[in-house]
Amino acid sequence: MRAQHSEIPALVLSMHDEAVYRERALKAGAHGYVSKQQLDDTVLLAIRQVLAGGTYISDALKTRIVAKFISASALYTGSLSDMLSDRELQVFRLVGEGHTTRQIANVLTLSIKTIESHLEHIKHKLTLESAAQLAQRATQFVESE
């Protein structure tokens, strides 16, 4: 939509409340992001703000963005959403939630070999040496959201 109609403001309404999805939507050109859990006056506020030419960002996201800039993690050169593909991020999140490779393959309707390939790419991109390190990092990621 942004490629063909860049003048139209976009507000994303999603079932996902994770910060990663909000960040990706905003990076892709959306002018706001509202999760379905916020279906009260927030949606109307977001629509009005976007139609007025602004950007809607929830208070929680504002706090997170500010914290990112003033914390030591601001020195980190890239976020996971920048480093991993959408599918790799899905696999990473499922690992962090405690799913096995077989369970992840079933959830995503992919082969076990494909999941193993994604896990190897994730380990390489995050410079992790073992599956245990990957699981620990994924768990920390899920707990920090």
70 & 96 share domain: no
Domain assignment present for residue 95? The answer is yes
Question: What CATH number is attached to the domain comprising 118?
Answer: 1.10.10.10
Q: Which two tokens stand for residue 60?
A: 């929680």
The rounded mean pLDDT for the chain is 83
- Looking at residue 100, what is its pLDDT? 95
22 & 54 share domain: yes
16 & 58 share domain: yes
Domain assignment present for residue 2? The answer is no
54 & 16 share domain: yes
For 62-107, how does the pLDDT look when each residue is reduced to its tens digit (9 = 90+)?
A: 777 676 665 544 444 567 777 888 899 999 999 999 999 999 999 9
Q: Final residue of a domain: which of 75, 108, 123?
A: 75
Domain assignment present for residue 98? The answer is yes
Q: Which two tokens stand for residue 105?
A: 């393959």
DSSP string, 58-87: -HHHHHHHHHHHHSGGGGSS--HHHHS-HH
- Looking at residue 73, what is its pLDDT? 44
Domain that holds residue 57: 11-75
Q: What pTM was computed for the model?
A: 0.52
3-state secondary structure of 32: strand
Q: Which two tokens stand for residue 20?
A: 């990663």
6 vs 51: which has the higher pLDDT: 51
Question: What CATH number is attached to the domain comprising 41?
Answer: 3.40.50.2300
For 102-137, how does the pLDDT look when each residue is reduced to its tens digit (9 = 90+)?
A: 999 999 999 999 999 999 999 998 888 899 999 999
- Report which DSSP code applies to 37: G
106 vs 22: which has the higher pLDDT: 106
Average pLDDT over residues 35-56: 83
Domain assignment present for residue 53? The answer is yes
Q: Final residue of a domain: which of 22, 45, 75?
A: 75
Q: Which two tokens stand for residue 127?
A: 């410079």
Domain assignment present for residue 54? The answer is yes
Q: What is the domain count for the chain?
A: 2
- Looking at residue 96, what is its pLDDT? 94
106 vs 19: which has the higher pLDDT: 106
- Secondary-structure percent of the chain, ordered helix, strand, coil, rounded to 5: 60, 5, 30
- Looking at residue 103, what is its pLDDT? 96
